[in-house]
Each structure stands twice: as structure tokens, then as C-alpha cells.
Structure 1
Amino acid sequence: MPATDRDEGTPGEHRAAMDHVGESDSRKLLRRLRDTLASAEAGQARLDRITELIAESMGTEVCSIYLFRDRDTLELCATQGLERQAVHKTRLRIGEGLVGRVAKTGKPINTEDAPSAPGFRYMPETGEERYSSFLGVPIQRLGETLGVLVVQSREARRYSDDEVYALEVVAMVLAEMAELGAFVGDDAGLSAPHKHPVMIRGSVAQEGNAEGHVWLHEPRVVVTNPVADDPEAELARLNEALETLRVTVDQMLEAVDATDKEQREVLEAYRLFANSRSWRRRIEDDIRRGLSAEAAVEKEQSAARARLAQVPDPYLRERLHDLDDLSNRLLRILTGQGRETGAQMPADPILVARNIGPGELLDYGRSLRGIVLEQGSVGSHAAIVARALAIPLVIHAENITTEALNGDHILVDGDEGVVHLRPEEAVVQAFRDKMAMAAEAQKRYAGLRDQPAVTRDGVRLRLDMNAGLMADLPSLKSSGAEGVGLFRTELQFLVRAKMPRRSELVQIYRRVLDAADGRRVVFRTLDIGSDKVLPYMRQVEEPNPALGWRAIRVGLDKPGVMRMQVQALIRAAWGRPLSVMFPFVAQMDEFVAARDIVLREIERERALGHPLPEKLEIGAMLETPSLAFAPRHFFEMADFISIGGNDLKQFFFAADRENELVRRRYDTLNISFLSLVEMIVKRCEETGTPLSFCGEDAGRPVEAACFAAMGIRTLSMRPASIGPVKHLLRQVDLRELRAAIDAARANGEQSVRRAVMEVLARARG
């Protein structure tokens, strides 16, 4: 087991009588709390009664409950022993005072001399200066801290480990009671959980806007019976559920391919946890204290999630994730609340999840209106699938899975990375107005579908689309794209549990070319690594995966995979033109080695008598600044070059595009970056090498117009961007735009955006 266990001790030690709270007293207190939950008392009366019960049972002069008023503010909501007039008046910021520190760290604070403890804050209105000892524990559920439970005494003493443990058990029950709305009421000044509007700011992974209702990928298990009267019956339920869990894990292991080492390792970790005596002992101790089996499992899961947030080591984090998933499985067995809960997916579902794999996302298909993830990354396979399906996606939406319930009204602003959960009517109306304006604009763009992208000064540009799934290909016609400037081939590898066969790839690539109906398709070879990890391939732990073993580096180190993919592409072409592009080329010799693999496979197919491509193009993605300075011979060898703007920009500015602190800090229209683009254009012009720009910025109209002004004549983007980009290009004079860029550069400006926007305003005016 990783460092997730408390000091194990012996079962006898854990069941030893406490100084003030014995085993039977603990269960007695929990039963009285349950009776309070079932009573008809108002919310404040329940809170007051609970503090009285805990103080009496613990033998302390003070018991206080602090709950979060908002994300950053704790409020004294009930007390026995402190001044009553301080209730709903005393507030602390998270991290402020001992109570705020407990809330911030998610860990207990136990001191015999509170005024001398680091961070102590004196609050005169409470009258707490009379009390020396302090014990505070977090009220938390599934890693989310809801408040702090505090006991205090005049006597200067340190509370025993058993007393701390007992108070944690009580705090767990309070968390469940809060989740069930036990403290709601005007008299308590508290609103019902999951009822008030919430705005969550995340990150943009796929643009677009959507309105709908929440569909949780992993519905939360609701513990409705946190307290149990019969510990022996609960222990029997736990034993039965654990045995079912162990059998399930063993069956999963038997079903896994023996060569699938990665998945076997995960399941072996599951089996290790399922058989962990220390994990089981802690759950059993919680049950003996008076918790139900499911409440005891959830208490340990909450503690593990709190530790997870503070563990920097990636291996330990992964193991804690395994424990979290195993706890969810055990909870579903105990409660019978499996994936199939009887709930019906709404007609307008917005998928909400912590994270999701590409295969699972494809199972939902185009039925989803939008997706919101707590985790994820802009380059992940889930994001790639979302883009392919043109579904708005917001990632890094903190706490969305704990805030949302199935059926909640939700608005997803994929353009700004904002989610509105249970929005107020004014927000809904403003959002609908925004969506209506976007829909009206799309109608205008549809009228340009068959029109060429020709600027006012007569420059003709080619607009291609990016794709990665067969589901993308109908957009070739509907969007007005002239071809596929980037077909991501890794998705066919990512959505499978094992390596696809060459024959399967041949069929997929053939269908892509058939659907393109003679239009050019540029196939990018396997781009894995970084945040795109094959489920059947051992993940290499790297300090900086984006700069590590990925893309062409993997292909050249595992040439068998690259050869198999190249063979599939040649056979899929079956005499038709074929364009192949290598990703993440950093220096010329990598391109030479990869190009030689293609040429050798061409000769091999010739020897086998198979039809060869009518025309073969071998190109490279320029995603690293180093390749822009490659020898002239590289530009002469490459049949075409595509600037991979997403990676090139993050490496050029040394700004991780997954890091919200820096990724928006640097402007694409920075003079330095446009000068690099200009240099690449000139080098390609010198050798007659066709050049395109591919990436998110190619689909942004203003940026696209500037790239055109710098000399780029082919842009590749998501299908939905083609209309807006074409609309602007047809209004602009590239000579005027280039003159504004040159003037801004001559004036020493850092970015040309202001000057460019003035030109575009005149063009539109």
C-alpha cells in the first residue's frame, strides 16, 4: 500500500475505550444524530441540538459547527459554549485562524494551547478566550470540504487519537446530513445543496455553446443511511460486498489479454487494494463506531481524496486514483446504485465527468450537446473526439461532479471556458441571445460554402479541414472545405483496447479516401505520447511529456508500428494519390529516416505487385522552432510542410498550452511569432515547397487573415471555422493588412493586433 494508511495498530487498540467516548457511547451519539436528522425540527434547531449532543458526549464545554457560506468564507452556524450572538456573525476566510487552516488543509488540528498555536486568530465576539484546548476536524464528503467541526475545553489538554477519530466519524455523518439538506432553512441562513446557481470557470478545449441538462457519466452514490444500529449486520454486508468485489476484479483479470501489461497492472493494483487488510480494518473500525457499511467506505474514500490533492508524486497519485475507483465499485455493490440507476438520459444531455476516455465518448456519439470535465487537457484524446464530433468541451471545471446532479439545467460556454449550473433567468436569456446570434452568423456563412476564399485584392486561399474520425468526413461538403489538411490517425489506435491490425487500418483509411471523393487528404502518422497515451502501451513517466518521447520519436524507436501504418496507407490508396505527413519533426535526420521508411515500403509493395499511389507526397509538420532553421536540403526534400501552430506557439513562447497561468499570456499576433512565420514562408518560397498553417489559430478569422498577409496560402482548421474565416478573408485587402503589420513592427510594437483590428474595422465598415 502507498502512503495512504494511518498508523495501523491492532484491532484491539482501535477498539479500546476512549477517555471520554467509549465504543457504545460513539454508537449512541450517532443514533441520536440520526434521530435529530429524522425530526421535524427546523434547520437551525437541528444544528443547535447537534452541538449540544456532541459536547455532552465528548465531555467538552464547547462544540461549534462552521460551514462554508461561499467557496472562500466559513461561517459559525451553531455553537454550544461560545457566545450565541456570534452565530451567523463570525466569519473566517479559508486559511484564516485555526478553523480556516483545518478547512484549507483538510486535516485535523489538535492543540492544548490554542492561543499559542500558529495561525490562531482571536475573535472577541465568540468569548473563546476562556478555552485553551482545541480540536478541529474537517466536515468533508468525497474530498470536498463542507465545513469544520470544533470542540474546545478550558482544560489545557491534547485530545487522544481515539477522540480525534471519533470526531472524524461524527463529521462524516454531518457531511452526509448536509448533503441530504438537513440544515436547510431560513432560520439557519443556509440554502439547500445543489439548488443555488453556480458559475465554474474552466478552460476551452472545444469552442461552441450549448444549453441542456446534466448527464453524469459516473452518477454519485447517495448514502441515505449513514448510521446503522447493528454493527455485526453491517460487517456482514461489508464482507459480502468485498467478496463480490474480489470476484469481479479476478474475472476482469482473467478477461485481459496476457500481453496487455498496462491494464493488468491496473487490475493487479485493484486486487491489492481489495485484499488490503489495513484498508478493510479502517472501514470495519468506522462501522463499529456506528456508521453504516457504505458510510464507512465513503469516509475512507473522502480521506483518500483529500490526500490525493496533496500528493505530488505521480505514481502515488495514480495508486490513490485506483483506490478511489475501487471505492466507487464497492459503494455501488453495497447500495445497488450501479451505472444503470434507472435514470433516463435527457433529450438535451450535457455530459459531466471527472474525465473520460475516447472510446466511452464515442459510445455517446453525437447525442451530446456539450461536455464538461474536471480534468482533461486541450490535446487529450477526449478533446480530439469532441472536436471531431463538433461538441463544445470545457475542461478543468473544478468540482463540477460534486456540484451537479442529473437533470440540472446547465449552460456551456465553450468560447470562454465557463459553465453556468442551475443558472438564473437573466443569465439564461443572455446566453440564448448569444446562441441566436451565432446561429444567425452560421446561416450567413452557409451561403459562402461554394464561394472561393478570394481576398479583395484578388489573392486566392485554400481552406482545408482537420479530421480524425469518419464522422468528420460529411463536413467536407457541408463546410465548403477543399480537402483534409490534417487527418489524425491516432484516434483509431486510442479507442481500441489493443493494437489495431493492418487490415483494419486499411479498411478505415480506404473509407476516408472514398468519402473524400477525390479531394486531397493529408494523413498524419501516429502522434502519441505527451497527453495521448495508448491504453495497451506502457506509459513512460517523464518530467515534461510535451517535450519528451512522443510522435515521430516513438515511431522511429518502434519502426514496426510505423511500417505497419505506412503499409496500410499505401494499400488503402490503391492507386490513388497519397499524402503522408510526419508529426513533431525537430531536425532533418528524423525526417530523412521516416521518409526512407515510406520509400522502402513503396518498393516492398511494388515487389509484391500491389498497386502504388498515383502520386506520393511526403511532408512534415513544423512544430518546433528548430525545424524552421533546418538546412535548405530539408526544405528541398519535403514535398510539403504544415506549420503545427499549437505546438509551435507553446515552444516558441515557452508557455505550456495546458497551463492556464501562462497559455493566454502570449498573443499569436506578437511581432516575434509573425516574424518566425514570415521566415518559414520565405524559406519555403525559396525551394518551392508548398506550405500550410494548421491549428486552432488557423480557424480564428483575425489570425487567419494575418497569416495570409504574411504569405501563407493554405489554412487547415475545424470545419465550423471555415465559414467565419472565409467571410473575413473575402472582405480584406492583404496589402493593407501587411502594410499595417509592417508599420507596427517599425514602430516597435509588441503585437500587431491593435493595428490589424483598425484595418479590419475599416474593411467591415
Structure 2
Amino acid sequence: MPETTESESRKLLRRLRDTLAEPGKGQERLDRITHIIADSMRTEVCSIYLFRDAETLELCATEGLKAEAVHKTRMRVGEGLVGRVAKSAQAVNTGNAPAERGFRYMPETGEEVFSSFLGVPIQRLGERLGVLVVQSKEAREFSGDEVYALEVVAMVLAEMTELGVFVGEGAALSALHQRSEMFRGLVGQEGVAAGHVWLHEPRVVVTNPIADDPASESVRLREAVDQLRLSVDDMLSTATTADTEQRDVLEAYRMFANSRGWMRRMEEDIASGLSAEAAVEKEQSTARARLQTVPDTYLRERLHDLDDLSNRLLRILTGQGAETGAEMPDDPILIARNIGPGELLAYGRNLKGIVLEEGSVGSHAAIVARALAIPLVINAERITTEALNGDPILVDGEQGVVHLRPEDQVKAAFKDKMAMQAKAQERYASIRDKPAETLCGTRVSLHMNAGLMADLPSLEGSGAEGVGLFRTELQFLVRNKVPRRAELASLYSTVLDAAGGRRVAFRTLDIGSDKVLPYMKRQEEPNPALGWRAIRVGLDKAGVMRMQLQALIRAAAGRPLTVMFPFVAQFEEFTAAREHLLRELDREERLGRPLPSKVEIGAMLETPSLAFAPRQFFELADFISIGGNDLKQFFFAADRENELVRRRYDTLNVSFLTFLEQIVGRCNETDTPVSFCGEDAGRPLEALCFAAIGLRNLSMRPASIGPVKHLFRKTNLNEAREVIDKARVSGAQSVRPAITEWMNSLDWNA
């Protein structure tokens, strides 16, 4: 059989384009396509398998196999040779299919007489769409040119599937971007929102995958690449020498933009009959497929660079993207694979919700979303490939569920849920200025967590008595270089102004682990959560700590100043950090600058070791704030970034509550004020139990203050304590069932 030459590839693509332009239903088009491919490649069989769901492939069209098998033959990903292609996203080429590893005999297709098999993935930018197969009776492997030709055809089929060309009969043929879809992810920030999709990186749709004039397409590609190279050079020229991480990324961009191999492969794709855009996307899809299988972190980052660069090139070629003038909807729900804190802050509170394909509960995006009180769902797989700008969308940040293009009944149920929450917020607003005082007369101070100036307006509206935690690292995370002392002093002064005399507890720089500064060289550590972070970085990089402490002192300028040091694991770390602050106070006094009227120096208790520190620690600390998120993960030895274990251990576990009570007891012995800070403080049931074991200060996100205060004003802590004690005596692992049952028995209208 003669080899399939590049000119024959162009002929095949031209025939495909012509047949796709003819009227007909989806199934008719698929049938014509399989006939054309088999005829052009001189094979007895051509079959198209498309995904019915995420794990199942369905035979949707065939030339050469039994017609009755269409829409009946199905297989799981990884099952048979077709399933193997789908799983690996790599071609399978063999002259003896029955002898191949994993071969599955499907008698209903009649394929047993065909010895040769070539299968290639139908995929678009990492999205698996199906498998394209050709078979013949002659026992031989297909040539490299034939494999390449079939990959080019599969690329075109992927684009046509994207454009909805194959809408028609058959369960696997419904159009992309039209069905109602539900995505299950993870809770990044609680809350619910309804709105319309706004894509952070708008999807580029290639409407002309086949081109007649390879020479003009090559010229278009070269001109676009030249423009891309100039833009990368411009970015490099504006990057400062201090921005080493940024420069490393841009240098990688320039390396790829000038890569002869990348350019050669795209020109070969154009010679085979693809348009310039389709050639770029074909190589991008190949890189995405490699990305899924590369274990090396460095190589994965380089493939990410190539992926991002390809997106830039596609936008130059097509004129599509954010810069085309598309208008953000009035109720935008941001959809992205991932997003940096600076980019997210640029959107600000305009966003109603955020959905990410990647990310973690401790990521920079999650930190900013929590600071902005915007509902966030993370790890919603495939949503960037399915969503289009303007699609209606519902985000349930409490369940980690996203409804894209929802059905009417889902909309109605969601509307009812939002109405109930709005009604509850009205009820909370009515008690905003009232104390969080229980029926037994116990008063609990409720403070809010913050990290951005945008948080401060919530101080008045939420009913918070002050800021129990101001995260100072966000100002470092959103910049490309270390902020100046004067900038920080101005910001901290504005925070104190906005607080209107209420107490603000500034936590010093808490970086490391999941919070890596863009201009700081990342330390490769086997377990970053237990590594070089927070106070450890501050003590080792004393210059940065001193600069921040000076900024805080100058910001106070005669007002009270409250500073707490994060992740203190032992007494001497606290004394060393405290000495730094005292020295800076002496220095500022010598320089004649006004000192704070009062200084409180405290520590965050986030490691079990600090709970057993010498009594002198509790006597020396002006206050202690229990950092619940970290303390819980270390107490249970359960990484809070690991979805396999982070939900296994209950905050209301008897052991953990007993441990917290011991900390409260040690603080009471020395009259050291103690608070609980973290997500659990904002959950009403957990907050009630914390108050029942003796905690009288809680710090939480602003939106949680209303629900917590409402519950406190309706319950008796003495009764709650009795329930907790009985659960302990009974040997229960958690007090949650008992406390829930007790609350359900209360008369809430009394």
C-alpha cells in the first residue's frame, strides 16, 4: 500500500471539510467521515469512539464493522486497545492486534478478521473527546506518515466536536457547551452565588481548522510568532533584575518562542493541511497530554510555560480573548484553571463567585477569596473546557458543587436556598449591635479575621468587636517585589484608621509552606507544612522582620499596637521575636518618633509543643491566639491540604476538645487572655462548644459573626457543658452527635 503523503493528507482534510459543509444530521456526518477516512487511507475499517461519560467510550460510527454495533458497543477507559489509547492519550499501532496487551474481543463488531490496528486520541487541549481507529486485514504496522495523518484528522474531528458539528442521534453525540452540567469540587470558601460565567482566560475556538493555502498559513504563523517574540522581549525588558522568579518564567517563554523544533512541527502541521491556528492547537494538545504523565515538577512547569505561550499565540492569530472587548456580566462568576492572588485582587469584590479547576484550601487564591468573602469552589475538573462566557451558573460553596447551565428545577431550589440565607442575614443584622451573650449570662467577644483593606468595611457591618487576626502576608504575596517600609506603614496606619479605635491584632509575616512569595526562591522541602515557614523564616531573615516591625510601630503613631508572632513552637522562639520588637521600639524612641500608647505582644499557638511550654511563656505573653487550622492538622497528623485525610478528623473530637480545654486552663492560671482563631470558630456548633469549655474570645470571617452570635443568644452554656461532659463519660469519640441532638430538642421560639 502506498504511504499517505502530506499532499494526500491535504486531500483528505479537504474532503472532510466539504462533507462537513453538506447538510445532514450528526450521525449522517459521522458515517460519511468514517467512509472518507477509510477510503483515503485505503483501510477496510474506520471507527469513531466518543466519550459517553468520563469513564465510558461508545462506538458512534464505523465503516467496515457491523452497523448494528453502533451505539451499542461500549468500553471503559483502559479496557481493550481503544480504552488504552483513551487512557494514555498516545497512539497504539500494531500489526497483530489480538496479540497486544489488553486486547478485548468484541464479537458484536465483527472485527476479529482485522489484524492491523491504529488508534489515536481525539483530544482538545487536554480534554479527552474520544478515539479514532483504522484497521485492516493485512498484518502490518502503519507507517509514520500514516500515524501522523490520522493524528491530524483526529485534531480536526476534535475541533468539529467543539463546534457542535456532530449533534444528533446517539447518547454520546449531544453538543458540547449546551448540556446542563454539574461539577463536584471542594469547598474553598463557603457561600452561595448565582450569576454568569466570566472566563479568566477565554477559550479560543478555532473555526477554520482546515486551510487550502499552506504557504499563506505559514506566513500568518511566522508573523504571529514574531509578534509573540516581541511581546516576550518587551516583558523581559520591563522586569527588574530583582524579580528573578518572573525573569525565569519569561526566559522560559523566550526559549520556547525561539524554539526551532516547535516552529518546525507547526509548519509540518500546516503542510499537512491544517490552518495556522489548528497547527498551534495540535502541538498544544500534545504538550497537554505529556503534562498529564510527567512526574518531574520542573518539566511539568516548563510544559505549563509552553501551554501558556500557545494560548498567547492563539489569541494573536484569532483575535479572540479578553482584549477583544468582551464585557464582563453584571453578576460575574470567575472560571479559571488557577489564578494568582494579584490577578484575583484586580477583580476585587465585583465577583459573585469563583470556580477553579486546580488550587487547594490553603492556596493564595483561597486566602484572597476568604478575605473578600467570595464563594469559592476548587478542583472542579473540566469546567474550563465546558464553560463559555455568559453561561448561567450556580455556585454552592458550602457543598463544593457547581451547576453550569442549570435546569429550571435546580434554579428554583437554589433560589429558595439563597432566599433563606438572605432572610437569615436580615435576622443577624437586627442583633448586630447587641452583645454575644448567652442565656446563662456569659459574654463572648467575637472578632473578625482580615488581610485586605477591602475587609475593613465589614468591621462595622458585621458587628465584630475588633480584628482578631490581620494577615500581613497578603501585601507581600500580591507584589512582584518586597514592599517598602513606608508603603507598609501607610497601609497599617490606614487599617488602624478604618478600625476606629477597635483592637487590631497584626500577625507578622506568615510565609512558607503553601504561601510562597513570587520573588522568593522556593525551598524544596519534603514536608513544607513542617518546614521553613512563618516565625522560622522571620528569625532567619531578621532584616525583613525588623522592617515590618518598624512599619507597624510607625503606623501606630501614638495608638495602641497589638502584634502576634505565627507558628511559635517553643519558648525561645517567642522570646527572640519579642526581643526584636522591643529593640525596634527602643530604636524608634531614640530617633524621636512617636511610640504606640500601648503594646501587646502575643503568640499564635499552632503547634502542640507550645501548649506544654514552661509557665514563664504564659506569663510573658500578653495574649495567646490558638491557630485552629494548623493546630488541628498537627494534633491529628492529618495534612489539611490532603483531601484523603483532612475531613477524617472532627474538630469536636473529645480528644481535641480536651486538649483545647487544657490550653485554656494553663492560660487561666496566669491570667493570659486566650482566643481561638480559624474557620472552626465561625461554625456555630463548634463555636458553642469552644465557649462551653471556657474560650471567651473567638475570631472568624465577618460573615460568620451573625450566625454565631444568634446561636449564643439562644443557648445556655452550662447546659451545653453538661452535654459535652456526658459525651466524654460515655466514651463517645466526638461530642457532635450529642450536642446536635440537644440543640434539636430546644424550643427556638421560647
Q: TM-score scaled by structure 2?
A: 0.98
SS in 2 for 1:460: coil
Query: Conserved in 1, the CA contact under 8 Å of 2:448 and 2:467?
Result: yes
Question: Given the alignment, which residue of 622, 629, 638 partners 2:612?
Answer: 629
Question: Given the alignment, which residue of 655, 660, 663 partners 2:643?
Answer: 660
In structure 2, what is the Cα distance between the partners aligned to 1:350 and 1:496? 24
Matched, 1:149 2:124: no
1:493-532 → structure 2 map (5 Å cutoff): 493-532=476-515
Q: What corresponds to 1:92 in structure 2?
A: 75
**Structure 2 counterpart of 1:164, which letter?**
V
Q: What corresponds to 1:48 in structure 2?
A: 31
Which string of whole-angstrom CA distances, capped at 9 and with x for unpartnered residues, describes residues 643-662 of structure 1? 11111112222222222222
**Structure 2 counterpart of 1:739, which letter?**
E
Question: Given the alignment, which residue of 237, 244, 267 partners 1:254?
Answer: 237
Q: CA deviation at 1:149?
A: 0.4
Q: What corresponds to 1:603 in structure 2?
A: 586
Q: What corresponds to 1:718 in structure 2?
A: 701
Which string of whole-angstrom CA distances, capped at 9 and with x for unpartnered residues, describes residues 710-737 of structure 1? 1111000001000100111112222221
Matched, 1:382 2:380: no
SS in 1 for 2:324: coil
Q: CA deviation at 1:762?
A: 2.5
Matched, 1:305 2:288: yes
**Structure 1 counterpart of 2:89, which letter?**
G
Query: Conserved in 2, the CA contact under 8 Å of 1:139 and 1:148?
Result: yes
In structure 1, what is the Cα distance between the partners aligned to 2:642 and 2:613? 29
Query: Conserved in 2, the CA contact under 8 Å of 1:43 and 1:188?
Result: no
Q: CA deviation at 1:690?
A: 0.8
Q: What corresponds to 2:355 in structure 1?
A: 372
In structure 1, what is the Cα distance between the partners aligned to 2:57 and 2:109? 15
Matched, 1:574 2:557: yes
Q: What corresponds to 1:4 in structure 2?
A: none
Query: Conserved in 1, the CA contact under 8 Å of 2:52 and 2:172?
Result: no
**Structure 2 counterpart of 1:174, which letter?**
L
In structure 2, what is the Cα distance between the partners aligned to 1:624 and 1:398? 34
Query: Conserved in 1, the CA contact under 8 Å of 2:5 and 2:145?
Result: no
Question: Given the alignment, which residue of 5, 11, 27 partners 1:28?
Answer: 11
Q: Mean Cα displacement is larger for which, 478-487 or 614-623?
A: 614-623
SS in 2 for 1:372: strand
Question: Given the alignment, which residue of 244, 257, 262 partners 1:279?
Answer: 262
Q: CA deviation at 1:542?
A: 2.5
Matched, 1:691 2:692: no
Query: Conserved in 1, the CA contact under 8 Å of 2:568 and 2:606?
Result: yes
Query: Conserved in 2, the CA contact under 8 Å of 1:669 and 1:752?
Result: yes
Matched, 1:159 2:142: yes
In structure 1, what is the Cα distance between the partners aligned to 2:633 and 2:2? 60
1:286-297 → structure 2 map (5 Å cutoff): 286-297=269-280
Q: CA deviation at 1:741?
A: 1.4
1:437-456 → structure 2 map (5 Å cutoff): 437-456=420-439
Aligned length: 748
Which string of whole-angstrom CA distances, capped at 9 and with x for unpartnered residues, describes residues 111-139 of structure 1? 22222222222111101111112111110
Which string of whole-angstrom CA distances, capped at 9 and with x for unpartnered residues, describes residues 359-397 of structure 1? 221221211111111112222222222122211111111
Query: Conserved in 2, the CA contact under 8 Å of 1:19 and 1:160?
Result: no
Matched, 1:419 2:398: no
SS in 2 for 1:312: coil
Query: Conserved in 2, the CA contact under 8 Å of 1:42 and 1:187?
Result: no
In structure 1, what is the Cα distance between the partners aligned to 2:172 and 2:141? 33
Query: Conserved in 2, the CA contact under 8 Å of 1:655 and 1:663?
Result: yes
Query: Conserved in 2, the CA contact under 8 Å of 1:20 and 1:59?
Result: no
In structure 1, what is the Cα distance between the partners aligned to 2:610 and 2:452? 29
In structure 1, what is the Cα distance between the partners aligned to 2:71 and 2:591? 83
Query: Conserved in 2, the CA contact under 8 Å of 1:20 and 1:57?
Result: no
Which string of whole-angstrom CA distances, capped at 9 and with x for unpartnered residues, describes residues 418-454 of structure 1? 1000111111101111111111111111111111111
Matched, 1:352 2:299: no
**Structure 1 counterpart of 2:242, which letter?**
T
SS in 2 for 1:634: helix
Can you give the 5+ residue segments of structure 2 that lack an aligned partner in the other structure?
A: none
1:606-755 → structure 2 map (5 Å cutoff): 606-755=589-738
In structure 1, what is the Cα distance between the partners aligned to 2:729 and 2:84? 54
Which string of whole-angstrom CA distances, capped at 9 and with x for unpartnered residues, describes residues 567-590 of structure 1? 000010011111001111122222
Q: What corresponds to 2:418 in structure 1?
A: 435
Change (3 A) 1:189 1:382: closer
Q: What corresponds to 2:177 in structure 1?
A: 194
SS in 1 for 2:323: coil
**Structure 2 counterpart of 1:234, which letter?**
E
Structure 1 moving runs of 4+ over 4 Å: none
Q: CA deviation at 1:167?
A: 1.1
SS in 1 for 2:402: strand
Q: CA deviation at 1:42?
A: 1.7
Which string of whole-angstrom CA distances, capped at 9 and with x for unpartnered residues, describes residues 472-516 of structure 1? 111111111000000011111122222111111111000111111
Matched, 1:405 2:388: yes
Q: CA deviation at 1:188?
A: 7.9
In structure 2, what is the Cα distance between the partners aligned to 1:409 and 1:373? 16
Query: Conserved in 1, the CA contact under 8 Å of 2:50 and 2:172?
Result: no
Query: Conserved in 2, the CA contact under 8 Å of 1:139 and 1:149?
Result: yes
Q: Mean Cα displacement is larger for which, 542-551 or 414-423?
A: 542-551
Q: What corresponds to 2:52 in structure 1?
A: 69
Query: Conserved in 2, the CA contact under 8 Å of 1:241 and 1:333?
Result: yes
Query: Conserved in 2, the CA contact under 8 Å of 1:731 and 1:763?
Result: no
Can you give the 5+ residue segments of structure 1 that lack an aligned partner in the other structure?
A: 1-17
In structure 2, what is the Cα distance between the partners aligned to 1:728 and 1:309? 47
In structure 2, what is the Cα distance between the partners aligned to 1:169 and 1:550? 49
Q: What corresponds to 1:244 in structure 2?
A: 227
In structure 1, what is the Cα distance between the partners aligned to 2:622 and 2:2? 81
In structure 2, what is the Cα distance between the partners aligned to 1:659 and 1:89? 40
In structure 2, what is the Cα distance between the partners aligned to 1:166 and 1:309? 24
Q: CA deviation at 1:186?
A: 3.2
Query: Conserved in 2, the CA contact under 8 Å of 1:44 and 1:188?
Result: no
Question: Given the alignment, which residue of 300, 316, 320 partners 1:317?
Answer: 300
Which string of whole-angstrom CA distances, capped at 9 and with x for unpartnered residues, describes residues 197-238 of structure 1? 111011111110000000101101110110111111111111
In structure 1, what is the Cα distance between the partners aligned to 2:527 and 2:193? 34
SS in 2 for 1:454: coil
Matched, 1:466 2:449: yes
Which string of whole-angstrom CA distances, capped at 9 and with x for unpartnered residues, describes residues 613-641 of structure 1? 11111111111122222222222221111
Q: What corresponds to 1:586 in structure 2?
A: 569
Matched, 1:171 2:154: yes
In structure 2, what is the Cα distance between the partners aligned to 1:186 and 1:84? 15
In structure 2, what is the Cα distance between the partners aligned to 1:583 and 1:460? 27
Query: Conserved in 2, the CA contact under 8 Å of 1:103 and 1:145?
Result: yes
Matched, 1:487 2:470: yes
Q: What corresponds to 2:116 in structure 1?
A: 133
In structure 2, what is the Cα distance between the partners aligned to 1:551 and 1:489? 11
**Structure 1 counterpart of 2:238, which letter?**
A
Q: CA deviation at 1:764?
A: 4.3
Q: CA deviation at 1:545?
A: 2.1
Query: Conserved in 2, the CA contact under 8 Å of 1:136 and 1:151?
Result: yes
**Structure 1 counterpart of 2:570, which letter?**
Q
In structure 1, what is the Cα distance between the partners aligned to 2:198 and 2:462? 30
Which string of whole-angstrom CA distances, capped at 9 and with x for unpartnered residues, describes residues 166-187 of structure 1? 2111100000010011111237
**Structure 2 counterpart of 1:633, which letter?**
Q
SS in 2 for 1:763: coil
In structure 1, what is the Cα distance between the partners aligned to 2:510 and 2:54? 40
The CA RMSD measured in Å over matched residues stands at 1.3
In structure 1, what is the Cα distance between the partners aligned to 2:504 and 2:170? 66
